[in-house]
Amino acid sequence: MSQVSTKLYEFGAFRLDASERVLWRGEEMIVLPSKVFDTLWMLVKEEGRVVSKSELMEAIWADAFVEESNVSQNIYTLRRTLGVDEQGRQFIETIPRRGYRFAVPVKLLEGASNGGVSANDSQAIAADQTELVTPSAPAEKEIRPRSALRYGLFAVLGILILSALGFSVYQFVNRRAEKDHIAPIEQLRFQRLTDSGDVIHPTISPDGERMAYTRLDEEQGSVWIKQIATGNSIQILPPSRKGYRSLAFSPDGQYLFFRDEADSGSIYQTSAFGGAPKEVADNVWSDFSVSPDGKRLAFVRRDIGRNPYLLILSNIDGSGERQLIASQSPLGDGGVAPAWSPDGLKFIVVGGLQWQDPILLTIDVATGQKTELKAPIWRAVTRAIWTPNGKHLILAARAIDEQTSQLWMLPYPEGAIRRLTNDLEAYFWLSLSADGRMLVTRQQRVVSHLWLLAGADLKKARQLTFGVRNFDGYNGLAWTPDGRIIFSALTNNFTDLYSINPDGSNRVQLTANAGQDNTFPAVSSAGRYIVFTSNRAGSRQIWRMDIDGRNQKQLTFGEGQKESAQYAALSSDGREVFFIKRGAEPEAIWKVSIEGGTPVRVSRLTGASAEGFLSISPDGKWLAYYHVSANQRPRDEHTLRIGVLPTDGAAELKLFDLPVRRPITQWSADSTAFDYAAGLNSSSLRRQHLDSGESQKLCDFPDRIFNLAWSRDGKNLVVSRGEQQGDALLITNLP
């Protein structure tokens, strides 16, 4: 190929080609949308100077009026693309009330080649990605600043247009061609209401004028109310280590209800304009809903000792509590709230095991009678609500063949499902105004990559995997005795297991079951076997394979969809596989021979259950797991209880209440302590010592830790880390 001489800006592992308008990571070409590239180029060429939002807007959108949120969205896209440098720093730094600056050194390479790709080849690659790029003037264009008068006129005109028509964002690309199964997405209108990336549970008021939401920082959460028309926000609940979730307005919009983040939580009521909260219900195990007349609450409670799921109704002040039904099959699994129908006569409830073919049930409020709805087979359903006329349900659900949870509209009692969203982001929360014209949802973005650290020294962190939408290691990390890393990664919308060298080379796919998920690997001490969880047989069960992926064999067998087995851990001699069994009985730890056979129950807890995850100490003496107690009522902060159980029953159970969101533990090499990711944003790596009970901070990461694993010699730590960001999105003009 012919070499093309051009001007390149080099920073970290990247090179920016200003002439060809492409970004390079090594030999990988990254083609950015035109305005996103312009944003990056302007920040890079300023080499550390703070660039204000107004400067970016004048330079990039010189002939058009746009809102500042366009700049924020471009910055978010760039941060997601670039990740962090070798020292764990963001490439682009936000300077409060001033703007942005490029935070890493930039080197200008005059006359350098473009990585061995000819100009024609670069153009061909770019042409193949035309859906991402819109025509634009060359990067070296003159910036044509607007006069203050011209800018003001555009601003006034823009405000008038916005007040009449609203802000429309079209970001969806149709994946299917069958008209009967696709909602008319082109008629919907999308408006981003927040762009901070730290928003959960956005909830619209009945009149559609306000939105309540929770904001998270590293250690605390707070509740805010936003005026949708003006964009003004006020904080109505102070920062709290408890955290807040499951927000709901009263039908008259005067009160706001919310739930404590603790495991056995409470529902509180406060004025929607601020004030002291009061507790109205306790021992709540799911999200909740308020009846259409504002007089009752509905939620799910667990009876850990007997294992039924209880659908509970109470008066709005917590009095008059009654149990509507008790079900041995899960109701609201994963915390999904029962949703009242508009007439208050029935609920829509998610039944069955979440992430294992959940079903939709209606439950009669008067009789408790359950009826299964005719609906597609889902991988997960995280939210279901009624439209005001009772003729449709709106769902946040993950289709069986898709990577992310999307929004859907399902006619009631039956009819063809229609899609409301169709993109690469995920949706897990829904809230609808009283007239059904305004839908608020949480749009979530998760990206995780593998990083290797010598010890827990963040300065020596080295990124092993790259990509814009990777999900590496989130659902499993392990080391082989010879020093290779086994990890989970997405392949064509499903999770498979891979191995990789600790320098990032020689990536090998170990499982390849189209349409199935393979997760949570554990490796035998001799390095012969990998055990893992797979749903290829219809439910999640434990499987075994050779270290190179051959000879895959099922070790556990459930009763249809009623039982599952997952989170495998191997004994120190590699002969026994420990796992969490879930089904009609309370969740417990079981074990089975590595060769298969009849499982044996290990844990026999009173008034408690052993739930995922599960890890075994290197000396084979201790099992760490997520322990859920019937009398567990932490009030001081967001905690999960980690149980440490002796494998031979010779010692007493140890319990640790830890400030974690995801109960993943990793044992130290000497088996005297285990490590976990602490904080609301799971960015602090801590070590819990068994004997002293002390918790020691190892290091703080600049982003979220999703998973971690120590090498067998205890010298190297691999972590799955990245970003989990969420913002509120308003959808109008619903079909």
How much of the chain exceeds pLDDT 70, in percent? 82
In terms of pLDDT, which residue wins out, 76 or 414? 414
In terms of pLDDT, which residue wins out, 493 or 627? 627
User: What digits encode the pLDDT tens for the residues 626-674?
Assistant: 988 765 543 334 578 899 999 887 778 999 988 887 888 999 989 999 9
User: What digits encode the pLDDT tens for the residues 266-301?
Assistant: 899 999 988 889 999 988 888 999 999 999 999 999
Task: Calculate the CA 141 to chain-centre distance.
Answer: 40
How much of the chain exceeds pLDDT 90, in percent? 45
User: What digits encode the pLDDT tens for the residues 163-177?
Assistant: 333 333 333 333 333
Helix (H, G, I), strand (E, B) or coil at 243: coil
- The pLDDT, as a whole number, for residue 391 is 94
Q: At residue 547, does pLDDT exceed 90?
A: yes
Kindly indicate the confidence band of residue 4, based on its pLDDT and cuts at 50, 70 and 90: very low
> Of the ranges 100-104, 128-132, 562-566, which one carries the lowest mean pLDDT score?
128-132
Q: What is the mean pLDDT of residues 210-236?
A: 89
What is the number of residues in the chain? 735
In terms of pLDDT, which residue wins out, 217 or 199? 199
- The pLDDT, as a whole number, for residue 234 is 92
> Of the ranges 165-169, 359-363, 685-689, which one carries the lowest mean pLDDT score?
165-169
Q: What is the mean pLDDT of residues 240-244?
A: 73
Q: At residue 535, does pLDDT exceed 50?
A: yes
> Of the ranges 209-213, 457-461, 475-479, which one carries the lowest mean pLDDT score?
457-461
Q: What is the mean pLDDT of residues 617-627?
A: 92
- The pLDDT, as a whole number, for residue 3 is 38
Helix (H, G, I), strand (E, B) or coil at 706: strand
Distance of alpha carbon 685 from alpha carbon 708, whole angstroms: 9
Distance of alpha carbon 421 from alpha carbon 411, whole angstroms: 16
Q: What residue has token string 């910055």?
A: 75
- The pLDDT, as a whole number, for residue 117 is 42
Q: Give the contacts of 364 (CB within 8 A, at least 6 positions apart).
A: 345, 346, 371
- The pLDDT, as a whole number, for residue 650 is 73
Distance of alpha carbon 152 from alpha carbon 150, whole angstroms: 5
Q: What is the mean pLDDT of residues 49-53?
A: 88
Q: What is the mean pLDDT of the chain?
A: 82
Q: What residue has token string 């099959």?
A: 329
- The pLDDT, as a whole number, for residue 622 is 94
Q: At residue 713, does pLDDT exceed 70?
A: yes
Q: What is the mean pLDDT of residues 602-618?
A: 85
- The pLDDT, as a whole number, for residue 247 is 94
> Of the ranges 239-243, 480-484, 552-556, which one carries the lowest mean pLDDT score?
239-243
- The pLDDT, as a whole number, for residue 264 is 52
Q: At residue 111, does pLDDT exceed 80?
A: no
- The pLDDT, as a whole number, for residue 66 is 55
Q: What residue has token string 């939401």?
A: 213
Q: At residue 130, does pLDDT exceed 60?
A: no
Q: At residue 72, does pLDDT exceed 80?
A: no
Phi, psi of 264 (to 5 degrees): -95, 80
Q: At residue 128, does pLDDT exceed 50?
A: no
CA atoms lying within 13 Å on the CB side of residue 701: 33
Kindly indicate the confidence band of residue 145, based on its pLDDT and cuts at 50, 70 and 90: very low
Distance of alpha carbon 319 from alpha carbon 313, whole angstroms: 10
Q: What is the mean pLDDT of residues 468-477?
A: 90
Q: What is the mean pLDDT of residues 531-553?
A: 92
Helix (H, G, I), strand (E, B) or coil at 392: strand
- The pLDDT, as a whole number, for residue 64 is 58
In terms of pLDDT, which residue wins out, 518 or 631? 518
Helix (H, G, I), strand (E, B) or coil at 63: coil
Q: At residue 156, does pLDDT exceed 50?
A: no
* Among the listed residues 592, 550, 546, the one whose alpha carbon sits nearest the alpha carbon of residue 568: 592
> Of the ranges 349-353, 618-622, 648-652, which one carries the lowest mean pLDDT score?
648-652
Kindly indicate the confidence band of residue 208, based on its pLDDT and cuts at 50, 70 and 90: very high
**Is the distance from CB of 536 to CB of 545 less than 8 angstroms?**
no
Kindly indicate the confidence band of residue 59, based on its pLDDT and cuts at 50, 70 and 90: confident
In terms of pLDDT, which residue wins out, 347 or 306? 347
Domains, the chain, in order of start with CATH, read 6-156 (1.10.10.10), 181-445+727-732 (2.120.10.30), 456-714 (2.120.10.30)
Phi, psi of 397 (to 5 degrees): -150, 150
Full DSSP string of 585-644: SPPEEEEEETT----EE----SSEEEEEEEEE-TTS-EEEEEEEETT----SS--EEEEE
**Is the distance from CB of 118 to CB of 67 less than 8 angstroms?**
no
Q: What is the mean pLDDT of residues 117-139?
A: 38
- The pLDDT, as a whole number, for residue 265 is 77
Cα separation values, 351 from 348, 362, 363, 382, Å = 9, 10, 11, 11
Helix (H, G, I), strand (E, B) or coil at 408: strand
